[in-house]
Amino acid sequence: MYNTDKLHLVEIKNGLVAPKYNVALTSMDAAVTKGTPNWIIYEMENSLDKIKNNILYDNNKNWFFDRGYTYHEVNSGYIEVQLAQPYLLSSMRMLLWDDNNDTYGYTVQVSVNHEDWDLIIDKSNKPCRSWQLLQFEQRLVVYIRITGVHSSHPNNTFNLKYLEAPAQVSLAFIIKKPWKSISWLLNRK
């Protein structure tokens, strides 16, 4: 779709879209492909799509009361999100469910082809909770894989409440790396 009204919301770099808005939304055709949904109040929602993709809805006013979360057991699985198309990203933000003051260790990997994965964040040895602001070297992303490595939750689960990409808050620091060529982005292993 060609729309000049919102052209200021994207940047085109060598023909690739570098969005300034959250593209990890169901309204942008993103979907959770791995992970187990847990809807906190099942009676309030009967849409299986909303339950499955609960971490991709941008209704932040009701996160703690009527929204679920997506989880996986530590040492067994991961949470994976597929974006609608390749996007140039350099940040993400996610909300870990820490209702009981739980802490988590995790890694984040990204891929363009679902075969070659790049580790972009490793917080496996840190006790993390609540909001996580993630910044990394700009790269093409279609798939996002979040793997819980340890958890203080009694069920030994990694619980994710919300994910957005790119981060919709001001970043505390900027990674200054020169722009790589398209062939480097597509051919690196």
Q: Where does the pLDDT of residue 172 fall: very low under 50, low under 70, confident under 90, or very high at 90 and above?
A: low
Quick one: pLDDT at residue 139? 95
pLDDT reading at 125 higher than 80: yes
Residue 2 lies in a domain: no
Residue 32 lies in a domain: yes
Residue 1 lies in a domain: no
pLDDT, averaged across the chain: 82
C-beta of residue 169 within 8 angstroms of C-beta of residue 132: no
C-beta of residue 97 within 8 angstroms of C-beta of residue 159: yes
Residue 69 lies in a domain: yes
Quick one: pLDDT at residue 174? 45
pLDDT digits (tens, 9 = 90+) for 80-89: 999 999 999 9
Quick one: pLDDT at residue 51? 76
| CA atoms within 13 A of residue 122's CA, in its CB half-sphere | 3
Residue 31 lies in a domain: yes
Query: Any idea what the CATH number is for the domain that residue 58 is in?
Result: 2.60.120.260
Structural domain including 113 reads 7-187
Cα gap 11→118, rounded to integer Å: 23
Q: How many domains does the chain have?
A: 1
Residue 11 lies in a domain: yes
% residues pLDDT > 70 (the chain): 74
